[in-house]
Amino acid sequence: MTQRLLVYVPPHPLIKHWLGVVRDVATPSVLFRSAITELGRWLTYEAARDWLPTQDTTVQTPLAACPATFVDPQVPVAVVPILRAGLGLLEGAQTLLPLASIYHLGLVRNEETLEPSCYLNKLPEKFDPQTRVLITDPMLATGGSIMTAMAELTHRGVDPALTRIICVVAAPPALQKLSAEYPGLTVYAATIDETVNDRGFIVPGLGDAGDRIFGT
Protein backbone atom coordinates (compact mmCIF):
# COMPACT_ATOMS: atom_id res chain seq x y z
CA MET A 1 0.00 0.00 0.00
CA THR A 2 1.36 3.45 -0.92
CA GLN A 3 1.79 5.65 2.13
CA ARG A 4 0.50 9.21 1.99
CA LEU A 5 0.66 12.22 4.27
CA LEU A 6 -2.58 12.26 6.25
CA VAL A 7 -4.00 15.65 7.20
CA TYR A 8 -7.02 15.71 9.50
CA VAL A 9 -9.12 18.78 10.23
CA PRO A 10 -11.34 17.48 13.04
CA PRO A 11 -14.91 18.79 12.65
CA HIS A 12 -15.21 19.54 16.35
CA PRO A 13 -17.29 22.52 17.53
CA LEU A 14 -14.82 23.40 20.29
CA ILE A 15 -11.90 23.42 17.85
CA LYS A 16 -13.92 25.71 15.54
CA HIS A 17 -14.81 27.95 18.47
CA TRP A 18 -11.25 28.43 19.73
CA LEU A 19 -9.96 28.85 16.18
CA GLY A 20 -12.36 31.78 15.75
CA VAL A 21 -11.04 33.31 18.97
CA VAL A 22 -7.37 33.08 17.94
CA ARG A 23 -8.04 34.40 14.45
CA ASP A 24 -9.75 37.54 15.81
CA VAL A 25 -7.30 40.47 15.87
CA ALA A 26 -9.29 41.95 18.79
CA THR A 27 -8.50 38.97 21.06
CA PRO A 28 -6.15 40.12 23.85
CA SER A 29 -3.02 38.15 24.75
CA VAL A 30 -4.50 36.61 27.89
CA LEU A 31 -7.48 35.15 26.01
CA PHE A 32 -5.30 34.23 23.03
CA ARG A 33 -3.13 32.12 25.36
CA SER A 34 -6.04 30.25 26.87
CA ALA A 35 -7.58 29.67 23.44
CA ILE A 36 -4.29 28.20 22.20
CA THR A 37 -4.16 25.98 25.30
CA GLU A 38 -7.68 24.73 24.52
CA LEU A 39 -6.68 24.02 20.92
CA GLY A 40 -3.65 22.09 22.23
CA ARG A 41 -5.95 20.00 24.38
CA TRP A 42 -8.55 19.21 21.69
CA LEU A 43 -6.06 18.60 18.91
CA THR A 44 -4.08 16.24 21.18
CA TYR A 45 -7.32 14.43 22.06
CA GLU A 46 -8.00 13.91 18.35
CA ALA A 47 -4.40 12.98 17.50
CA ALA A 48 -4.21 10.38 20.29
CA ARG A 49 -7.07 8.28 18.88
CA ASP A 50 -5.09 5.80 16.79
CA TRP A 51 -1.66 6.74 18.10
CA LEU A 52 -1.46 6.10 21.82
CA PRO A 53 -0.78 2.37 22.38
CA THR A 54 -3.00 0.46 24.77
CA GLN A 55 -2.91 -2.94 26.41
CA ASP A 56 -5.82 -5.18 27.32
CA THR A 57 -6.14 -6.72 30.73
CA THR A 58 -8.84 -7.45 33.29
CA VAL A 59 -9.91 -5.63 36.44
CA GLN A 60 -12.10 -6.66 39.29
CA THR A 61 -15.08 -4.33 39.71
CA PRO A 62 -16.93 -4.43 43.06
CA LEU A 63 -19.19 -7.03 41.40
CA ALA A 64 -17.20 -9.12 38.94
CA ALA A 65 -14.09 -9.46 36.82
CA CYS A 66 -14.27 -7.56 33.53
CA PRO A 67 -12.02 -6.67 30.60
CA ALA A 68 -10.19 -3.34 30.81
CA THR A 69 -7.89 -1.39 28.49
CA PHE A 70 -5.10 0.89 29.72
CA VAL A 71 -2.55 3.15 28.05
CA ASP A 72 0.58 1.00 27.68
CA PRO A 73 3.17 2.45 30.09
CA GLN A 74 6.03 0.57 28.38
CA VAL A 75 5.86 2.53 25.11
CA PRO A 76 7.67 5.88 25.34
CA VAL A 77 5.69 9.01 24.46
CA ALA A 78 7.45 12.28 23.62
CA VAL A 79 6.13 15.77 23.01
CA VAL A 80 8.33 18.14 21.01
CA PRO A 81 7.21 21.78 21.22
CA ILE A 82 8.74 24.03 18.56
CA LEU A 83 9.66 27.22 20.43
CA ARG A 84 8.44 29.70 20.97
CA ALA A 85 4.89 29.38 19.71
CA GLY A 86 4.68 25.61 20.16
CA LEU A 87 4.85 26.20 23.92
CA GLY A 88 1.31 27.55 23.68
CA LEU A 89 -0.01 24.14 22.61
CA LEU A 90 2.15 22.24 25.09
CA GLU A 91 0.08 22.74 28.24
CA GLY A 92 -3.04 21.18 26.72
CA ALA A 93 -0.99 18.30 25.30
CA GLN A 94 0.75 17.68 28.61
CA THR A 95 -2.54 17.61 30.48
CA LEU A 96 -3.68 14.67 28.34
CA LEU A 97 -0.27 12.97 28.22
CA PRO A 98 1.05 13.41 31.77
CA LEU A 99 3.71 10.71 31.39
CA ALA A 100 5.19 12.07 28.15
CA SER A 101 8.77 13.33 28.07
CA ILE A 102 9.08 16.89 26.74
CA TYR A 103 11.95 17.73 24.39
CA HIS A 104 12.18 21.43 23.51
CA LEU A 105 13.34 22.53 20.08
CA GLY A 106 13.95 26.25 19.58
CA LEU A 107 13.66 27.38 15.96
CA VAL A 108 13.33 30.92 14.66
CA ARG A 109 12.84 32.14 11.11
CA ASN A 110 15.03 34.85 9.66
CA GLU A 111 12.52 37.60 8.86
CA GLU A 112 14.07 38.28 5.44
CA THR A 113 15.08 34.87 4.13
CA LEU A 114 12.42 32.93 6.13
CA GLU A 115 15.11 30.28 6.74
CA PRO A 116 14.84 28.73 10.20
CA SER A 117 17.80 28.49 12.54
CA CYS A 118 18.06 26.36 15.66
CA TYR A 119 18.96 28.06 18.97
CA LEU A 120 17.98 25.28 21.41
CA ASN A 121 17.98 21.53 20.92
CA LYS A 122 17.04 19.35 23.89
CA LEU A 123 16.46 16.21 21.78
CA PRO A 124 18.16 13.03 22.99
CA GLU A 125 20.91 11.51 20.83
CA LYS A 126 18.70 8.54 19.98
CA PHE A 127 14.99 7.81 20.43
CA ASP A 128 13.64 4.34 21.07
CA PRO A 129 12.23 3.44 17.60
CA GLN A 130 8.82 2.70 19.20
CA THR A 131 8.52 6.24 20.60
CA ARG A 132 5.26 8.00 19.84
CA VAL A 133 6.18 11.62 19.05
CA LEU A 134 3.77 14.56 19.13
CA ILE A 135 5.12 17.80 17.62
CA THR A 136 3.39 21.03 18.61
CA ASP A 137 3.63 24.17 16.46
CA PRO A 138 0.62 26.43 15.83
CA MET A 139 1.74 27.47 12.33
CA LEU A 140 2.99 25.44 9.36
CA ALA A 141 3.68 28.17 6.78
CA THR A 142 6.53 27.82 4.26
CA GLY A 143 7.35 24.53 6.00
CA GLY A 144 10.99 25.41 6.72
CA SER A 145 10.63 25.02 10.49
CA ILE A 146 8.66 21.77 10.50
CA MET A 147 11.00 20.22 7.90
CA THR A 148 13.98 21.13 10.11
CA ALA A 149 12.23 19.60 13.12
CA MET A 150 11.39 16.41 11.22
CA ALA A 151 14.98 16.07 9.97
CA GLU A 152 16.33 16.44 13.53
CA LEU A 153 13.87 13.82 14.79
CA THR A 154 14.29 11.22 12.04
CA HIS A 155 18.11 11.47 12.28
CA ARG A 156 17.63 10.43 15.90
CA GLY A 157 15.58 7.34 15.04
CA VAL A 158 12.02 8.70 15.15
CA ASP A 159 9.59 6.86 12.87
CA PRO A 160 7.40 9.33 10.89
CA ALA A 161 4.56 6.78 10.94
CA LEU A 162 4.52 7.01 14.75
CA THR A 163 4.66 10.83 14.68
CA ARG A 164 1.76 13.27 14.89
CA ILE A 165 1.97 17.03 14.31
CA ILE A 166 -0.66 19.25 15.89
CA CYS A 167 -1.00 22.75 14.51
CA VAL A 168 -3.64 25.45 14.43
CA VAL A 169 -3.18 26.66 10.85
CA ALA A 170 -1.49 24.64 8.11
CA ALA A 171 -0.67 26.11 4.69
CA PRO A 172 -0.16 24.29 1.39
CA PRO A 173 3.62 24.90 1.02
CA ALA A 174 4.34 23.17 4.34
CA LEU A 175 1.95 20.30 3.62
CA GLN A 176 3.47 19.77 0.17
CA LYS A 177 7.00 19.58 1.60
CA LEU A 178 5.94 17.16 4.35
CA SER A 179 4.07 15.02 1.85
CA ALA A 180 7.08 14.76 -0.47
CA GLU A 181 9.51 13.80 2.27
CA TYR A 182 7.43 12.02 4.92
CA PRO A 183 4.57 9.94 3.53
CA GLY A 184 3.09 8.07 6.49
CA LEU A 185 3.22 11.13 8.73
CA THR A 186 -0.05 12.48 10.16
CA VAL A 187 -0.98 16.12 10.75
CA TYR A 188 -3.90 17.37 12.84
CA ALA A 189 -4.82 20.97 12.03
CA ALA A 190 -7.65 23.20 13.22
CA THR A 191 -7.76 24.56 9.67
CA ILE A 192 -5.92 24.68 6.35
CA ASP A 193 -5.53 28.18 4.94
CA GLU A 194 -4.97 29.06 1.32
CA THR A 195 -1.83 31.11 1.05
CA VAL A 196 1.44 32.30 2.55
CA ASN A 197 2.28 35.91 1.68
CA ASP A 198 5.73 37.20 0.68
CA ARG A 199 6.53 37.96 4.33
CA GLY A 200 5.93 34.32 5.25
CA PHE A 201 2.59 34.95 7.00
CA ILE A 202 -0.32 32.58 6.48
CA VAL A 203 -3.39 34.41 5.04
CA PRO A 204 -5.94 34.76 6.61
CA GLY A 205 -4.06 32.96 9.40
CA LEU A 206 -3.92 34.49 12.84
CA GLY A 207 -0.88 36.76 12.68
CA ASP A 208 2.32 35.98 14.57
CA ALA A 209 1.34 33.27 17.06
CA GLY A 210 4.51 33.63 19.17
CA ASP A 211 4.12 37.41 19.51
CA ARG A 212 0.44 37.08 20.40
CA ILE A 213 1.04 34.33 23.00
CA PHE A 214 3.84 36.20 24.73
CA GLY A 215 2.68 39.78 24.10
CA THR A 216 6.01 40.80 22.58
Binding residues: 84, 109, 137-145, 202, 207-209
Q: How far is the CB of 63 from ligand PRP (least distance, A)?
A: 51
CA distance 102 to 122: 9
Exposed, middle or buried by CB within 10 Å (0-12, 13-18, 19+), for 73? Answer: exposed
Please report, for the chain, how many H helices and E strands are present, in that order.
6, 13
Site string for ligand PRP, 120-149 (x = CB under 6 A): -----------------xxxxxxxxxx---
CA distance 71 to 85: 29
> Residue ranges for the binding site for uracil?
202, 207-209
Does the protein bind ligand PRP through residue 82 (CB under 6 A)?
A: yes
Q: How far is the CB of 115 from ligand PRP (least distance, A)?
A: 8
Q: Which of 19, 78, 93, 209 binds ligand PRP (CB under 6 A)?
A: 209
| Three-class SS of 83-110 | ECCHHHHHHHHHHHCCCCEECCEEEEEC
Touching ligand PRP, residues 146-165 (CB under 6 A): 146
Q: How far is the CB of 109 from ligand PRP (least distance, A)?
A: 4
Does the protein bind ligand PRP through residue 84 (CB under 6 A)?
A: yes
Q: How far is the CB of 202 from ligand PRP (least distance, A)?
A: 8
Separation in Å, CA 50 to CA 22, 116, 201, 209: 27, 31, 32, 28
CA distance 81 to 187: 14
Does the protein bind ligand PRP through residue 118 (CB under 6 A)?
A: no
Where do contacts with ligand PRP occur on this chain (CB under 6 A)? 82-85, 107-109, 114, 116, 137-146, 174, 200, 209-210
